[in-house]
Chain A
Amino acid sequence: MTNLTHLSMSEALDGLKKKEFTAVELTEAYVKAVEAARPLNAFITETPEIALDQAKASDARYAAGTNGPMDGMPLGIKDLFCTKGVLTTAASHILDGFKPAYESTITANLFRDGAVMLGKLNLDEFAMGSANITSYYGPVLNPWTGKDPAAADRKLVPGGSSGGSAASVSGRFAIAATGTDTGGSIRQPASFTGIVGLKPTYGRCSRWGTIAFASSLDQAGPMTRTVRDAAIMLQSMAGFDPKDSTSVDMPVPDFQAALTGDIRGLRVGIPKEYRVEGMPAEIERVWQQGIEWLKAAGAVPVEISLPHTKYALATYYVVAPAECSSNLARYDGVRFGLRVEGKDLKEMYENTRGEGFGKEVRRRIMIGTYVLSAGYYDAYYLKAQKVRARIAEDFAKAYEQCDVILTPTAPSTAFAIGEKQDDPISMYLNDVFTVPASLAGLPGISVPAGLAADGLPLGLQILGRPFDEVTLLRVAGVMEQAAGAQPLPPFCR
């Protein structure tokens, strides 16, 4: 029998429909894989009992012919999505013991369509980080290791913040996973682990029940092994939700129907500002390769300019902390999570938040508090919001000349735990290619584009027009085809 955990979601769905195996067999295989993958620390909470119950119910639906579009698919759920009755931590000490009394819209949508939950996945604390090293529950390891034998025991990061999601999908111990992306948290880890990661247009997926980091940027999306799987999963996740005031009330197109493979005449923008100083030649090579692939399929590369690109990171690191300082004000030790006593209410707040938040989260709350404080609001926060408008305008102008934009996803391959930790800014630079589109609310997808010379995966990013995930997926499908079959990470060999 084939190795069930190596099937893509579309293959597994076919197998279930053809009764080649049952949902319980598939889930059992994944539960075993999750156990075997514990050294990677990708899960904060495993939920095998829930998974097997859901799988049994799924088999019953297959038998009755009432199976949904994702029926029986064993997923990992980033631990930023509230799951009813199941510990939800945001990888933070401050949410100790928090078991939501409600289900996030995203997970509710996935369960409605038959998905199975293997557990809750590790992440950077409150999704703040690019290496999954800020989690209270410890770092996640990448299933990939470099090809240099001397460096074989170097422990590599899976990227972040959706590091557990990326590791579980890449390491074949979840068939797919939910991610969230505020400045690159789906796309960058997808690139680091050789999987597909899609950040939809802001407003496409409901934020209700997803623990907030920066509300004007946060967006949930699928992390999968193939582009088709991303289309299947986005179909289930997306849709209007009256409970989220920024959820957009528009029809959800048929995403799988987008995968025609025909991109003839499509104009692909190549932004000259993304050739950043000090970018490894490998990244440039893979990017060029991507351009050639799309050209060979009939697309037309067009050089475009996004002149405010270099200001995107600084803009992000004002806007996101400002929103985070406001959102995280709710963690007060009163209504849920950790409480550290003090002599009065104020001291209880300060003790709880001082102990409950990790270093990076504290730093961002403090930056946010400062840029929003009287006397500095205009100089920092308002200014950043204006530059954000300039960045969005850059994209709007670019899309007069092109239909999609092709860039590298990240400026490097996965690095080792402990690297890039000298100062926060060197870590922030990981998101240099993903943050601009986040600020503009645009959809983006990272597609595996092969291995770099160091033997580690590299992704290419395709950006689309607002709510044009259809074109995004079509181009991604062509790219995936051109890149060919991707090798398994060493962890799975």
Chain B
Amino acid sequence: MSQDKATLDAKTVAKIAHLARIKVPEEEQAHLADELNKLLGWVEQLGEVDTDGVEPMTSVAAQTLRRRPDQVTDGGYPDAVVLNATDAAEHFFSVPKVVE
């Protein structure tokens, strides 16, 4: 598993933070890079395990997902849906302007 491994620098941390939509102040980036590198270095040990021909395990539930008739079984309570919104107008969630 040597392919595609990179050592994270502050710039990559900034990129991951952006992908995760988490603000990380610039002064914390180097420290965080160090921490993440230690963790990623530690998980490198998985490379020792022979996994040729092994199917990746996504779930322990040995079942195919259940199906049900395509019918509406829930809903019809907009008040409850917006109950916890910081900023709800009528039955809408309000957000800052997205399109100029």
**Contact surface of A with B, Cβ cutoff 8 Å:** 97-102, 202-203, 216, 242, 245-246, 248-249, 308, 310-311, 314-315, 317-318, 325, 329, 332-339, 341-351, 353-355, 357, 362-363, 365-367, 369-370, 373, 375-376, 378-380, 382-390, 392, 423-425, 439-441, 466
Contact = CB atoms under 8 A, between A and B. Distances in A.
Contacts of B97: 344-345
A343 B20 contact: no
B77 to A, nearest CB: 8
B75 interface: no
B35 A363 contact: yes
A333 B54 contact: no
B56 A389 contact: yes
B11 interface: no
Interface in B41-73: 42-43, 45-49, 51, 54-61, 63, 65-66, 68
A424 B35 contact: yes
B61 A248 contact: yes
Contacts of B24: 354, 362
Given A337-B84, A345-B96, A390-B51, A369 B20 contact: yes
Contacts, number: 176
Contacts of A325: 20
Nearest to B48: A311
B46 A383 contact: yes
B39 interface: yes
B49 to A, nearest CB: 5
B49 A308 contact: yes
A163 B96 CA distance: 38
Interface of B: 1, 3-6, 8, 13, 16-24, 32, 35-36, 38-40, 42-43, 45-49, 51, 54-61, 63, 65-66, 68, 77, 80-87, 93, 95-98
B56 to A, nearest CB: 3
A319 B32 CA distance: 20
Nearest to B54: A386
A384 B22 contact: no
Contacts of A382: 56
B62 to A, nearest CB: 9
Given A363-B36, A389-B57, A335 B85 contact: yes
A370 B1 contact: no
A-B pairs with lowest CB-CB distance, top 4: A441-B60, A354-B23, A385-B56, A336-B84
Contacts of B51: 383, 386-387, 389-390
B1 A379 contact: yes
A376 B40 CA distance: 11
Given A97-B84, A387-B49, A466-B60, 18 more contacts: A101-B84, A203-B61, A246-B59, A249-B66, A335-B84, A335-B85, A336-B86, A337-B86, A339-B86, A345-B98, A357-B22, A363-B32, A367-B36, A373-B16, A376-B4, A376-B6, A386-B54, A440-B60
